[in-house]
Amino acid sequence: MNLIARVMRFLFWLLVVSWGVALLRRLVAWMVRGAMPAQRDHDADGGVGVGSGSDPAQGGLAARKLVRDPVCGMHVAEQLSIPLREGGELVHFCSMECRDKYAKNAQRKAANA
């Protein structure tokens, strides 16, 4: 009987600790998400960030959106990308080199047309 009581006590505390860890993870995630709206407001004021066109009901999911560079095909976070607005379309790039290469090709196409 003593062995069964020890096993049950172990399982009880294992359950309590696992719930505690899960709650702690949720608390930390909530705190991190709480810091993101300030960054979004800053981006909407001066930068070309996610905050200007994202839906606030998404709760930070737009900050993790990946976009594809049309030149090299690399995926980069939309918040970290280098945007270029061309003909009403917003194109995102991973680097200044890719953006310049895209702009040169666009100028060549416009000159040939």
Domain ranges for the chain: 1-51, 65-113
Rounded to an integer, what distance in angstroms lies between the CA atom of residue 81 and that of residue 64?
12
pLDDT on residue 52: 46
pLDDT of residue 20: 95
pLDDT digits (tens, 9 = 90+) for 2-53: 999 999 999 999 999 999 999 999 999 888 887 665 554 444 544 444 444 4
Sequence-separated (6 or more) residues with CB below 8 Å from residue 54: 40, 62, 63
Return the structure tokens found at 51.
């905050």
Q: What is the mean pLDDT of residues 71-98?
A: 88
The Cα 73–Cα 92 span in angstroms is 11
Q: How confident is the model at residue 86 (pLDDT cuts 50, 70, 90)?
A: confident
